[in-house]
Amino acid sequence: MGYREELDNLSQYRNAYALAISASMGSVFYGWDTGLIGGVLSLSSFQQYFGIDQLSATAQANLNGNIASVLQAGCFFGALFTGCMPGRFGRKIPLIISGLIYLIGSIIQTVSGIGSSQVVALRVLYFGRFLGGFGLGMSTALIPSYVSESTPKSIRGRCTGMIQVLNNIGMMLSFWVNYSSSLHLPFGEMQWRMPFAVQVVPGVLFILFMLPQPESPRCLVEQERYDEAARSLAYTTRSTINDKAVVAVLEEIKADLAGKQKTSVWKQFRMMGESKTMALQAFIPSLVMLFQQWTGSNAINYFSPEIFAELGITGNSTGLFATGIYGVVKVVTVTTTVVFAVERVGRKTCLLIGGLGQGFMMLWIGGYSALHPQTTMVPASYVSVVAVYLYAAFYCIGFGPNPWVVAGEVAPNHVRKAAMSLAMGMNWLFAFVISRVTPNMLEEIKYGTFLLFGMCCMLMSAWVYFCLPETKGYALEDIRFLFEKDMFVRALEDAPGGRIFLGGRRSTPVTDMRKAAGDDIVVRSSNEKLDEERVEHGQVV
């Protein structure tokens, strides 16, 4: 697609892009706190205010891990709570509620300790971070579904990838706010309160941006509000409700959700295991979000000042400056990936490139740290600092944006709420684990931390190569066919050089499977109608 075509695409789908950016503003919360807390924990003013500087190295590591991870604990419960909300609330209203909860938590964090003792101040800080995390967990469970359900398939990956773009923008801004605070504000409590206070801004913008956006069309169909669903589809494609493409997509959604409207979340959880295909589709979102955490990215995001210090970059402001550059690298790389690669190159290839690159960089950093445990700068130290930046770039090519895209696409329509709630709960559970144990790992096993994450990246890349089919270009209603038959054959067909493992084997084309399923749907719909009539007459089905 050339320059002119890209501009035409942007113009045609500007409403869809606006919707994706508005919803993805909720991801700024995630990035902001991820970048914020590591810098705040490294400020001497914060350590003195909460008495952290009086503790032993091990006790400091434990307390820092608690402060960082309590937000993830809130996120875990927020994500699970979202799955329990009745379907009649849709996606939009819970998203706005999540923003309000996040705002309240941010304000509590900002004022923690005013007029109280250190013990009470720490408790208030914990509560504020847990509450803010609860709102953040709600938003992350809803945003991928909302964006993937609301945007056209030709730009769906790009729009869903906006989640990671806005995440990294929030992270980058918080890095530079921390650096500016340490450099320009005098030593004192305002030095660490200001970064907490500024995170209110993205929360307010998120709520304001979401107010004019439509509800998810698939959610409206599930509630049998078909006219509103047609208007929502027409809005994102800038067409009319009578447009042939809008009518066709609406009919596809109706057929996919036939007999499954208004399914309770508990029934959705049960339905996730009703067939092998359904179980795979419901499980993969949780798996890819777990993989995203075990790349080790959040270990560097949360504790990058300490990691740069171990590589020889000394001085608090210097470490925060290096962290700020790290944030810029991530924003530039992830934006380039989402705009140019996710839809052209595909999700699978991006995951492979990113995962292998991350693994090699982590293994290099671990090997360097093992051979050079001192914090003095040597020539190899500069290579290791560059390796950290390259690691960030590879993360933004692969396991940064693409798990959000894959999770939002693969989850089946009629159990998407339960599957995404479970996936985001898994994401936040292991984000909690990573942020809690990383300080202790860096303190106790040091270079082993990086070697562990490096090997995890290699294993994840192998799974992507052999097990994950490409989802680019398929309608959400058709993605189930990728997992229904010949899944591993499809995965190898889509992998670079994968056909050499297949010999003459080839997968069944999705068009043929869709045609066969169309005949089945007619039969199934008739049987379901007969079953409903038998139930109404008191007969056992």
Q: Render 282-301 in DSSP notation, one character per residue.
A: HHHHHHHHHHHHHTSHHHHH
The number of beta carbons lying within 10 Å of the beta carbon of residue 266 is: 11
- pLDDT for 529 equals 37
The answer to whether residues 392 and 330 touch, using CB atoms and an 8 Å cutoff, is yes
Q: How far is CA 379 from CA 309, 313, 376, 382, 383, in A?
A: 15, 13, 10, 6, 7
The answer to whether residues 171 and 35 touch, using CB atoms and an 8 Å cutoff, is yes
Q: C-alpha angle 14/292/426, rounded to 5°?
A: 100
Nearest-angstrom CA–CA distance, 471 and 406: 7
Residues of the chain with pLDDT under 50: 521-541
The distance from CA 533 to its chain's CA centroid, rounded to whole angstroms, is: 43
Element (H, E) at 69: helix 57-84
Token digits of residue 409: 């696409």
- pLDDT for 304 equals 67
- pLDDT for 2 equals 61
Q: How far is CA 221 from CA 96, 144, 411, 502, in A?
A: 21, 18, 17, 41
Question: Where does 85-199 have alpha helices with state H?
Answer: 92-111, 118-150, 156-184, 190-198
The answer to whether residues 27 and 139 touch, using CB atoms and an 8 Å cutoff, is yes
Q: How far is CA 414 from CA 228, 282, 424, 476, in A?
A: 18, 11, 17, 11
- pLDDT for 315 equals 65
Q: Is the pTM of this model over 0.85?
A: no
